[in-house]
Structure 1
Amino acid sequence: MSKIEIKNLTFGYDTQETLLFDQANLNFDTQWKLGLIGRNGRGKTTLLKLLQDQLAYTGQILHQLDFLYFPQPIKDKKQLTFYVLQEISDFEQWEIERELNLLQVDPEILWRDFETLSGGEQTKVLLALLFIDDHFFPLIDEPTNHLDIVGRKHVAEYLKKKRQGFIVVSHDRSFVDEVVDHVLSIEKSQLELYQGNFSIYEEQKKIKDEFERAQNEKLKKEVSRLKKTAAEKAEWSRSKEQDKYGKASEKGSGAIYDTGFIGARAARTMKRAKTIEHRMDAQLSEKENLLKDIEYIDPLTMNYQPGHYKRLLTVENLSLSYQDQRLFQRLSFELNQGQRIALTGPNGSGKSSIIRFLLDQFEGDHQGQLLKPKSLKISYVRQNYEDNHGTLLDFSEQQGLNHQEFLNNLHKLGMERDVFHNRIEQMSMGQRKKVELAKSLAQPAELYIWDEPLNYLDVFNQEQLEKLILSVKPAMLLVEHDQAFLEKTATQVITLKK
């Protein structure tokens, strides 16, 4: 067993005013299975880069094992998968086949071109490579993005059985809950360690936050009282100062006063007033320093505008196919106001194809019938949104959005205001996803169609979306692999069968 120790880690990007990490400290065993949690932009991927010594920082990061990052960069995707993997790491064929079997993947996949593999298959072969050699400590960044529900279960079982420790970043709370035994949370430039899985972390964090909120309210009242008292003492001090000069003025007018006594008494009074004032200031400063900077998650808004149609979609005996290859068994369903239907099924079963068909964008063959109002206003969150570009102002004008509402939701989703000046194509994938989502929330719509909305979003964003959907109760069609999210938000689940 070895340790990884972080001492007084300080780091910030030149483009940001605040530090991501400020004298942060951490000590953990390499056998621990750590779930790395934190708001987007708080520094999860940056911390993984710092561990790999890819960024300059102050402080120390001490470790005996070398780090291995997932997903590994691929030089040539046109090669056979076996040779793609050998360019990344040295291994024997039996070793990679052993790991693939544990992941419930047919080892024959090694002899297919890497570029022909599905996103889930690519994820699994790259994960298998992480655990061949136990002289590395794996850093696993968002492994669930391209995995369907079954694939996530396979990977979760695989990671649970590993004796080797790792750090994993994932937006899927159920997945993290199942595979980790410790949670590492990035909270306001500091690293906080919690023992247990994600559910235990949430419970402990809730108790901690509630206690700190209560302490904050108590401290705020105390600060307010001290400020009032300090102001009163300052006013009293000033009045005594004025009395002193007033008495001296009366002496000059010929009045009979013991000026020595008056001067000494005024000096003592002034000294006592200043002492009280300084003590008040010190107490005030001490109390204000105790105030906790608690993470507040602001509620999102949605421009849902239900029309007079009760039934929004009717799909009867739908069949979609490419080159005579049918994607799924015939499908029928109805979607009414207030309903939230989730489409589930393995990768390649046709979920996104159904969405494209509903939006008149499907390029294959179809049979069956679709009925929907001609004037139905639909807001769509796409899986691929790389064509979003330009400034946020230009983008909102092109999309016909209320710019202030658009920016407000972006900020509530955790995008820092200094990022507002960046062009969309220069933003991180998480920030670009928030642009796509905030666009949808600002669009006036009767029906929301969201295709994997949770990719690249943190767990705080997921909670925001859950609360928003349960509060507004919009009509929705969802494609998402996060079971916890669907259990809370969907009113009906339709599972596609190949």
Structure 2
Amino acid sequence: MTTIEIKNVTFGFDAQTTLLFDHTNLTLDANWKLGLIGRNGRGKTTLLRLLMDEYPYSGKIDHQLNFTYFPQTVTDKSQLTYYVLQELSEFEQWKLERELNLLQLDADVLWREFGSLSGGEQTKVLLALLFVDDVNFPLIDEPTNHLDVTARQQVADYLQAKKQGFIVVSHDRSFVDDVVDHVLSIEKSQLVLYQGNFSVYEEQKGLRDAYEQEQNVKLKKEVSRLKQTAAEKAEWSRGREKDKYGSPTKKGSGAIYDTGAIGARAARTMKRSKAIVKRMEDQAAEKEKLLKDIEYIDPLTMNVQPTHRKQLLKVADLQLRYGDRQLFQPLSFEINQGDRIAIQGANGSGKSSIIQCLLGQFQGEMSGVIQQPQGVTISYVRQNYEDNRGTLQEFAETHRLSYQDLLNNLRKLGIERTVFNNCIEDMSMGQRKRVELAKSLATPAELFIWDEPLNYLDVFNHKQLEEVIQTVQPTMLIVEHDTTFLKNVATSIIQL
């Protein structure tokens, strides 16, 4: 049995005050299909990099594996895909074509420029390269970011059918459920291994958290009782100490005003009081060890504006085209107050084009009717937000947002306060996505239009968004590939 043994590994980046891994010990079976999960910033990608010996660390990682990593870095996207892949790894063409076929992708993509492929096609060809043989051990980091619903299922089926083991990082709950047989969760204080898929992890994590909460309640009551008892005994001791200076009686008689007896009794009581205080402090310290891995998910706020309008949008026989290419069949729908309409479809089917058309930004040809009451306020999460720049305060002023509301939601979404001083263009893609999302949440609006809001967000962020939407019930139009999210928030789904 081939294993990956992590022995006493300690690692943290220089800029971090808290270590990502502190004397971590773990043994993984290389035959497992392991899902690696945890909040953004916890060290999922870092752990993969440590396995590949790309960062210096203390401790030891033992294995006999040759790791390969997805996504591979493509330096020249203008080359034919075949030559791009040749630069990344050695392979036999027939084996690569076999993997492409299993991923339901035509081998003709090998003879197209890599840059001309869709995000989903690029993902599939790079995944195929990982599995051209069973010698390498794949480390797969966020494979679903650019996949539509159909492609996600195709990749899930592909990974599920594999006999060899791998480690996959993904925030798509349905995807992880389909492909893994073990879950490794990077929690706040430790790494916890679960046997089963994501649903099993959620159930067992919930039981662990509930047990810790129950123990915490009991311990709090005990500490409170001990505090009260210690205070009462200390007060009695102090009172008896004063009594020593009352009316004296015969020395050593033990009567109520016998100062010797009073002093001894008071000393014994004070000693017991101090013992209780010590016990209380020990239990309080024990309490601190509990709840260490419970994820506190602060509720987000959403600036939904009350509206008197019953209908915020009506679309009749909408068709979009680029030249002779029609994107979809004539489409009709309406969005009434409280509706949360989701649009699903394959990449390239026209989902984002519909949003651009509704916002007056579509560059192709349109036919049909769009009716929208004048003055409807809209809050928009864009799929492409690379033009967000400057400090967060400048960003808030530019978009006429409450700076405090923006920061509050960013903090709740998991961005550390130390990042607040960075310019947006210097942030990671995940942090920049949170800025775009926090902007929309803080924008006062009657209608929220979100185009793929979940990319780069972790599972806990998904739940935060689900909860705020379920609580405030805004009117929304959503384009998203995550089926679990849509099942929890959408009132109806339009399939292109």
- TM-score bracket, normalised by the shorter chain, equals over 0.9
Specify the code of the residue in structure 2 equivalent to 1:388: N
Distance 2:136 2:262 in 1: 76
Residue matched to 1:471: 471
Distance 2:161 2:29 in 1: 17
Residue matched to 1:105: 105
Residue matched to 1:135: 135
Question: Would you say the 8 A contact 1:314–1:334 is kept in 2?
Answer: yes
Residue matched to 2:271: 274
SS across alignment from 1:454: coil
The two structures have a TM-score, normalised by structure 1, of: 0.93
Specify the code of the residue in structure 1 equivalent to 2:149: I
Once the 2 structures are TM-superposed, how far is the Cα of residue 271 of structure 1 from its aligned partner? 5.8
Shift of the 218–433 alpha-carbon distance from structure 1 to 2, 3 Å rule, reads: same
Residue matched to 1:292: 291
Distance 1:55 1:267 in 2: 64
Distance 1:236 1:136 in 2: 73
Residue matched to 1:116: 116
Higher relative contact order (CA 8 A, sep 6+): 1
Residue matched to 1:153: 153
Residue matched to 1:21: 21
Deviates more, 1:19-28 or 1:437-446: 19-28
Once the 2 structures are TM-superposed, how far is the Cα of residue 171 of structure 1 from its aligned partner? 1.7
Distance 1:35 1:46 in 2: 15
Once the 2 structures are TM-superposed, how far is the Cα of residue 325 of structure 1 from its aligned partner? 1.9
Aligned 1:41-52 pairs, distance under 5 A: 41-52=41-52
SS across alignment from 1:315: strand
SS across alignment from 2:348: coil
Specify the code of the residue in structure 2 equivalent to 1:123: T
Distance 1:137 1:239 in 2: 73
Residue matched to 1:495: 495
Residue matched to 1:75: 75
Gaps of 5+ in 2: 253-257
Specify the code of the residue in structure 1 equivalent to 2:205: K
Residue matched to 2:255: none
SS across alignment from 1:183: strand
Does residue 366 in structure 1 map to residue 366 in structure 2? yes
Distance 1:460 1:388 in 2: 24
Question: Would you say the 8 A contact 2:234–2:269 is kept in 1?
Answer: no
The two structures have a TM-score, normalised by structure 2, of: 0.93
Once the 2 structures are TM-superposed, how far is the Cα of residue 345 of structure 1 from its aligned partner? 0.8
Shift of the 282–59 alpha-carbon distance from structure 1 to 2, 3 Å rule, reads: farther
Question: Would you say the 8 A contact 1:233–1:277 is kept in 2?
Answer: no
SS across alignment from 1:10: strand
Deviates more, 1:270-279 or 1:146-155: 270-279
Residue matched to 2:209: 209
Q: Deviations over 1:337-371 (max 9, x none)?
A: 11111111110011111111111111112112211
Structure 1 stretches (4+) deviating beyond 6 angstroms?
A: none
Residue matched to 1:405: 405
Once the 2 structures are TM-superposed, how far is the Cα of residue 129 of structure 1 from its aligned partner? 0.8
Distance 2:241 2:390 in 1: 62
SS across alignment from 1:177: helix
Once the 2 structures are TM-superposed, how far is the Cα of residue 258 of structure 1 from its aligned partner? 5.0
Does residue 417 in structure 1 map to residue 384 in structure 2? no
Distance 1:420 1:243 in 2: 61
Once the 2 structures are TM-superposed, how far is the Cα of residue 227 of structure 1 from its aligned partner? 2.6
Aligned 1:477-488 pairs, distance under 5 A: 477-488=477-488
Distance 1:26 1:230 in 2: 43
SS across alignment from 1:207: helix
**Aligned-pair Cα RMSD in Å:** 2.2
Residue matched to 1:334: 334
Residue matched to 2:323: 323
Specify the code of the residue in structure 1 equivalent to 2:203: E
Question: Would you say the 8 A contact 1:344–1:351 is kept in 2?
Answer: yes
Distance 2:491 2:358 in 1: 20
Gaps of 5+ in 1: none
Deviates more, 1:286-295 or 1:455-464: 286-295
Question: Would you say the 8 A contact 1:240–1:270 is kept in 2?
Answer: no
